[in-house]
Amino acid sequence: MKKGKLITGIVFLLIGVALVATPLTMEKMHAKEVTELEKAFASIEAGDAPQAEGESSKKWSEEELKETMKLEIPSIDLEQYVLNETTEDNLAVALTQIKTDQDPAKDNFTIAGHRGYRDGRFFRQLPDVKPGAEIKLQDQDATYVYEVDSVEIVNPEAVDILDNKDKPEITLVTCTLSGQQRVAVTGKLTEVVQNS
């Protein structure tokens, strides 16, 4: 009888260790990929070819890295990279463009990101953005400045928030804590500053 309880206890202990270790291991792998993406992007910004340091750095071509943008929301201390295509791999390490061939000066520029659960990564703090807050989107040529005009909770079927309107704007989307709905932040373009 004691032997059976001991074996059961050991099994539950091993399951507990696995449940704790799995997300920590995944977080460590994602952090490594983010670091490699940041290094590759810094190389591109400096005008150098990206240095391949590991398997994950081969995920992004030089062309994809040149199309990478930077999103900044000062009110929530957010500064993240935006990759040009939404895939599971890309969403694991950065924010992503929901639609292809978007023009921030003309279109409703749509960006998706995971909510994230540690260190303010991804769009964890997005629900804290308030109307009037500033959003900056930077590409190789310019910085596009937006003013938030709406923060709302929508159902996943509300894809009309991604439609192009008659004016340039930005739409940022992430899941609510429950994952059942979406947080959608929209802003209107107020300024375009050419990068020197």
For the annotated catalytic residues, the residue numbers are 114, 175
Distance from C-alpha of 57 to C-alpha of 111, rounded to nearest angstrom: 22
Strands 95-97 and 108-112: what pairing?
A: antiparallel
In 3D, which of 148, 136, 32, 143 has the Cα closest to residue 80? 136
**Residue 26 identity:** M
The rounded distance, in Å, linking the Cα atoms of 176 and 102 is 25
